[in-house]
Structures are given as structure tokens and as C-alpha cells.
Amino acid sequence: MMMTLGMMVFMRQTLPYQGMQHNVDYRWPTNSRIGQRATAQFLGPGDEKITLSGLLLPEVTGGKISVASLKALADLGRAWPLIGGDGTIFGMYVIEDINTNSAEFFSDGSARRIEFIVNLLRVDESLTAMFGDLKKQANDLLGQSGNLSSSLQTVVGSLSSQVGGLFS
């Protein structure tokens, strides 16, 4: 697996991409000043886009069915998690557009060569917003496990006294 976008898995049999371009914009608006250089203020990250490009050879790799599957995913109009094959979590992305170019056709009109470009746009605030504060979640789980431990000790104590009562 090279990457997955929601339920679409990019791999040799489906949509193997040969190029990946990752662009992150940062917002720095400026204010003009008289007799001085303009001042700039950092407002935070802007758009984050990923472009996947590749070549499909239906005799060897995926074909028009793979492209149709990606189009069906885009038609749902939802954001999907984008996760790299190495485990990198990129965030939640929508499919902005899909471009295909078919060439070198078989006698039935199906393409031997399909070039594709898929443009993705990140729509979540950040990985922290997506997953929440992991430290807080871990502390909550530890707190709950402490409560569970005391509850289990109470239950075990109660059971042992009841079992002890059976044998006396």
C-alpha cells in the first residue's frame, strides 16, 4: 500500500502514483507604512494541498475502474483521512478535482495508457483538532483505570466473602 484516502487504497493494482507534490501556504498579510518598509503579520497556516500524479497501464496496473472508484469517492462530497503507507497521517482531505488523459487505445476503444492528476485539499484544523489532546485522553484513561481498579477490588472482596460463606 502506498497511501489510503478513506476507502481508496493507492497501490500497484489500483492507482499507483509516480509523483506527489505537497504544498503548505502560510498567511503573511502586509500593512503599508509611510517612509518605511511594510510590516508583515503571521496569521497562521493557509491552504494545504497534495497533488498525486501517475500513469496507469491497465494491462499492468489499475485502469478506468480504479479512476471511477476515486470519482465515486469524490462524488460523496466528504472529507476523508489521508494516511501514507509508512503510517504518516496527513489529515482530513477532500478531492478537489481529478484529471485524466487517455492515449494509445485498444481496438475496442479502451485506453492502454491513462495519465491522472488528483488534487486534494486539507480541510481539518490540525491533527490536534482531529484527534484531540492525546495527553488529556491518556490521563482520563489512567483515571478511569484507577476507578476500575478500586471497583474490581470491591467486587473481588465481595465475591471472596460470599464464596468463603459457602464453605463455612
Cβ atoms < 10 Å from Cβ of 34: 4
> How confident is the model at residue 125, as a pLDDT?
79
What would the pLDDT profile of 55-84 be if each residue is shown by its tens digit?
A: 999 888 888 899 999 999 999 999 999 999
Q: Are strands 30-33 and 19-27 parallel, antiparallel or unpaired?
A: unpaired
Query: Do residues 118 and 51 make contact, with C-beta atoms less than 8 angstroms apart?
Result: yes
| Global confidence as pTM | 0.72
> How confident is the model at residue 60, as a pLDDT?
87
Dig out the grid coordinates for 150 from the structure.
Answer: 478500586
Tell me the pLDDT of the chain averaged across its residues: 86
Confidence of residue 49 (pLDDT cuts 50, 70, 90): very high
> How confident is the model at residue 71, as a pLDDT?
96
> How confident is the model at residue 61, as a pLDDT?
86
Higher pLDDT, 26 or 128: 26
Q: Residue 156 pLDDT > 70, yes or no? A: no
